Structure 1
Amino acid sequence: MTVRPFHRTGPTVVVMTLRALAVGFLVGGFALVGAPAVAAPADEAPVSLIVGLRSVTDVVTPLERRVDVVASEPLTGAVTVDVPADQVAEAADVLRADPAVAYVERDQVARIAAVTPDDPYYSDQWGITKTGVNRAWDTTKGSGGIVVAVVDTGVKKLPDLSGRVLAGKDFVNNDSNPDDDQGHGTMTAGVIAAGGNNGVGVAGICWYCKILPVKVLDSSGAGSYSNIAQGIRWSADKGADIINLSLGGASDSQLLRDAVAYATGKGALVIAAAGNDGKSSQHYPAAIPAVLAVGASTSNDSRYSWSNYGSSWVDIAAPGCNPAQARNGLVGQFCGTSSATPFVSGVAALLASTSPAPTSAAIRAALTTTATKISGNWVASSSGRINAATALAVLSGDDHVVPAASFVTPGGNAYVHGTVGVTARATDNIGIARVELLADGVVVATDRVAPYAFSWRTTAPAATVALGLRAYDYSGNVATATRRVTVDNQAPTVRATSTTANGTRSVRKTRYVTATAADAHGIKRVELLVDGKVTYWYAGTVRKFPVQTWKYGKVMTVQVRAYDRAGNVRYAPARKWYR
């Protein structure tokens, strides 16, 4: 056992991590003070303004002369206008000065209500809000008919679990008294099912679920595979809906595989900890395919350094540090994949509490397919960090709200060329599963993580293309948006006229170069370059530029170039002059 102190403002927090070769409980440790959630960075995306109209009129075109309008969409009696975040005040002033405008306000986001229990340590439970458990509580806080087996060191019947700890079994001492002589199992049970909104301790995830205590680990936190296998089978025979295994070892075992198969065959969902070695090595029973393997995530959705990882075998991530009551009733910060696992078990129990009763396979699918995508490739790519609210909404079939989708860039009727960066905005009351970009009806890119950004490679020399967005939520509801752009991959023509010839010597005073450019879609600007640097530019097709030759060296290179509206560029031949 190693002790690793770390500091933050206030008291010192000590985290203890068990590294045992034998089968043991997987706890990163606990401390009496919890770490706060990391604040999200500021959102610099364009701001949507809702502009109420007194009559049908165009207020966008005049606004474009003053600020950089990113996009606009018509509404009934109004229009939304997206402007850069640093131009909001100016845009609002311009719009309010227009007699046709009735009002200007920011487009806001409404969210479903969230439960805030009065448990004294709830404010330290960052994982609850991070994963939307508090929003899931609006639908269910669990059911007394759902049983979660805690196959561990036993469970002490603390007041916060009052009336919900069933008669269990002790396979270590071979009796019917599964009391906890270590503390790990009690904290595990508290993460799952501590009573909520009762003014005591912490708020567990499934407030009304029953806990089935099964002692398979001794007072040192170690136990045999044979006892664990017996505990799994016994739990299944007693009707456990969820079997929580915050334990594991480095070796595979057919005995454990058979026990897991027996439990899943009886309808139980088996959930196990991935381990705390900070390695990609598989840990058992978590790595058994039928088991839902859980890794530990931080408050900013990264991996705790001690959590095991592997996209081929770790199925889902969950908050790895959660406050929980110890055997003496004191609340400590319970860290490790041992803590992440009961977090997932608690959410699974909430899902199991819905009606009609879902199968364990349906619960597992809901948990993994609706998980929030996270970076790092340390859990399965089809999964991520657990999202309780989304999983519950999808499983219960209560999500009938269509998401919203809109383009951010490029703007409507824009000219584009080459590889184009496309950005989009998509929102939903529950969550966005994916956003697709289409070009003339063909999907060309997909993004599953906000902010939604795509790279679209244009190939046509010139064409008008209908870009489309399809935003899907986790229930399959879909929103669409369209925008037309002009593809132009043909460079403009440009030439330098009325100028001194190439190779001219004894150049003196001010000489002039006339740049003439043309393009089917229009010229954005022409530029004069001397020795590779832009000295003058003009937003038009023809311009006479001066070259003050005395400012340059004995040899100078003079050239003009032109950009069309799509950004294509062409250079006229360079000329060398000698002073």
Structure 2
Amino acid sequence: MNDTTMNVRPHGFRRVSLQRRNVSLVLALALAGSAGSMAAYGANDTPAWVPGRILVQPRPGLPEAALEKILKAHGGKSIERIEAIGVHVVQLPPNVSEKAVAALLSKNKHLKFAELDMLLEPAGSVNDPYFSKAWHLPKIQAPTAWDASTGAGVTVAILDSGVDASHPDLAGKLVSGWNFYDGNSNTTDVNGHGTKVAGTVAAATNNATGVAAVAGAAKIMPVRVSSSSGSGSLSAIASGLTWAADRGARVANLSFYGVSTSSTIVSAAQYMKNKGGLVTVSAGNYGTETTFASTDTMIIVSATDSNDAKTSWSSYGNYVDLAAPGAGIWTTANGGGYGSVSGTSFSSPVTAGVVALMMAVNPTLGASQVQQLLQSTAKDLGAAGWDKYYGYGLVNAAAAVQAAKGSAPSDSTAPSVSVSSPTSGSTVKGLVAINVSAADNVGISRVDLLVNGSKLASDTTAPYGFSWDSTTVADGNATLTAYAYDAVGNYASSSAAVKVANAASASTDTVVPTATISSPTNGANIGSKVTVSASASDNVGVASLSLYIDGQLKSTVNGSSLSYLWNTRKESGGTHTVQVVAKDTAGNAATRSISVTK
């Protein structure tokens, strides 16, 4: 979230003060200049996460039993699954390093990613000058756009702290939502930020009450993902985003900073895009250049002032797609009030409102086409063309709506696709990692993998990959076929013929792997923290590498290298045995042991 909070009218005067917590990936809320209140993802603090939890996405096709085995090696257990994107919320035992386990699992070839379940928090707020009228609406030519579209028929999901459903400018505009923080249907605004964001997008317009908004006829779907302080987890946000996409939301606003760095959120945003929706996101309020990678799964927005200049506090970098007004935005306040707010928390929903206008005027357009038209019609600011301060430029509602109105779905180009590994003619066995390359002139919607004509699984996010248990088919020839689809249904396919040799490899491979412990060395004296590094090699391939300390299993990885941070503070003094066991795909095993002294 990002806001510099408002002076509200006397009948509802309230100064919002958001306290800093001990977590740091931030809702884009702080205005530059509010020293001491800025949480610091992108500043100097260490990001924080939900204790004992990580997020894991297995490759499509990986059997549940295989995933369970991978997690169990680290003491982990899946406690929840975000069905739409196949991400598992994994609980780890106490006193286990979430960072270490996530790092180890990230190297597993049968997992697409493993990451910490980061917490997002508000960064603080300060007063901003009171504005008596919405300067930002004529600045983006919204009144001209309203001649063609006011957003009717489009639902915008507000993933935030809830929405005040009784506010006179919001009452009657809300559709059913959900509270992913408490797990119930109560979407009352517990912080105030969500009501400000909702009013920026779609407060009732031309009703002789309060304020006007960019898309006054659009509906609002309140999705609460945060606590009363504003902090929320990646897992809650991803669950809320996929939930909203499944229930008809065409636009979703995430006034959070740094969400584009999360593989889980990128997957959820792509899921919504595949369903024809778009996600708008705040660029952040640190006033510094940020090195986040760009992504086309969401629209990331910096903030401008009334002079079309990037505000001093708006973050910028290669990840920025567009700019929109974000200083002194007149909007709704929790409890029925009104006031002006500043921050990229509001440049983002301004953009969400423009997207809603475009989708309303031409519902047949695909998400990628809407995104392209939004960018191509933006008012170029700064250096000619795209730049890191304004992206493609300032959103122009009138030009974007006119372009959308006059456009027709025009994508008739099929994607390109190929099975990149295993290659045709390869011999495979056991659990096989299959990689697929796919590209499209607009965008890939999904990739399906078929084995001998039967569908194994689908993957919706690049890089596209699958895990196939080859023991489910008879030894001999097998055909792997990948189908790539775009959003309008154009498709292409590519196949690779492989030879399955499970029985043959199990009976003929009798060569034992070799195992090596490179750190610590045998006989070493160790300190309070030791990095145990081990590796293995085999004539066919290493299936797993397990680490035991004094006979207790500490870690298992599927692969030939292992790194484990051993905290020895609670270990007794004296000699300790460090042992690794390497196994190949045929079950042959090798052991290597060393002794160290504390």
Pick 1 or 2: higher relative contact order, CA cutoff 8 A, min separation 6: 2
Larger Rg: 1
